[in-house]
Amino acid sequence: MSTTGATADPLAALGALPGVAESVESVRKAVDRVYGHRIMRRRSNAITSEAALRGARGSAALSGADWALEEVRRRTDFSGDDEARTVGAALRLTAEAGQLLSIWRQSPLRVLARLHLVAAAANADEVGRPRQQGEPVDEPLVEQPLPSAAEVAGRLDGLSELIIAGGSAPALVTAAVVHGELLALRPFVSHNGLIARTAERIVLVGSGLDPKSICPAEVGHAELGRSAYLAAFDGYLSGTAEGMAAWIAHCGKAIELGVRESTAVCEALQRGAA
């Protein structure tokens, strides 16, 4: 992870970058609005379920399986081809994320290993652990050079320490850094993008910003598009103040678009109940 200077709380330092406070406040207001919707008092479980489905569809789309929502909804077999397996992995990860919240703050590396096991759905030796030197990585979306296995191990430890230590950084900042760092490291031999976006969801839910998991950032990332996603990610990789702020703002916009999606679901349910 890149920061702009040595500090005891580097995530909090990122929160002080120009423009980040505005993104944080905009996200908070958007989340508060959807949580205040009338339908949330009676149908929050339905909103959570629909957000999970739509979030999984969005994450899979960024990983190359851009299926229509209704296709994801109706399909029961996800073993047929690469795209189907990607959608299936995204759905499994979204379902698993809620089961791992209590573990995340104590052992984030354990959670990440579990996410890879769930995504890969295989018993191969390379599944459920960080990749070793020389092992290939299947991640077609991200083409930047791979960090070495030693660098991956060191940076994963550093990320884990930051999460366990907690701190005063806003949820948006922590979620964006976790997402960006995992995408940069690609610590597993496969499914790194899906895992990075699932970890972002875990942070947003576990932080209390989105406790019912109704604000699927994955929807927003997909709506903003691959090109914008990768351009913002380049800013994260740059490690500059401007680049990091741009990545955090991009993640914030993705959350706001996820809020808009769930607000539309709330409105549809309200019309149906009228």
Confidence at 140, pLDDT banded by 50, 70, 90 = confident
pLDDT at 4: 38
For 48-103, the pLDDT digits (tens) are 999 999 999 999 999 999 999 999 999 999 988 999 999 999 999 999 999 999 99
- What whole-number percentage of the chain has pLDDT above 90? 88
Interval 9-20 mean pLDDT: 90
CA gap 112, 195 in Å, rounded:
7
Residue 69 half-sphere exposure toward CB, CA atoms < 13 A: 11
> Quick one: average pLDDT of 131-153?
92
Q: What is the mean pLDDT of the chain?
A: 94
pLDDT at position 1 is 60
Q: Can you give the pLDDT at residue 9? A: 82
Three-state SS annotation for the chain: CCCCCCCCCHHHHHHCCCCHHHHHHHHHHHHHHHHCCCCHHHHHHHHHHHHHHHHHHHHHHHCCCCCCHHHHHHCCCCCCCHHHHHHHHHHHHHHHHCCCHHHHCCCHHHHHHHHHHHHHCCCCCCCCCCCCCCCCCECCCCCCCCCCHHHHHHHHHHHHHHHHHCCCCCHHHHHHHHHHHHHHHCCCCECHHHHHHHHHHHHHHHCCCCCCCCCCHHHHHHHHCHHHHHHHHHHHHHCCHHHHHHHHHHHHHHHHHHHHHHHHHHHHHHHHHC
Q: Is the pLDDT of residue 244 over 50?
A: yes
pLDDT, average across residues 245-272? 96
Contact 129, 113 (CB under 8 A): yes
What is the CA 262 to chain-centroid distance, rounded?
A: 17
Sign of CA dihedral 59, 63, 65, 67: positive
Confidence label for 273 from pLDDT (cuts 50, 70 and 90): low
pLDDT band at 2 (very low <50, low <70, confident <90, very high): very low
Nearest-5° Cα angle at 247, 15 to 112: 90
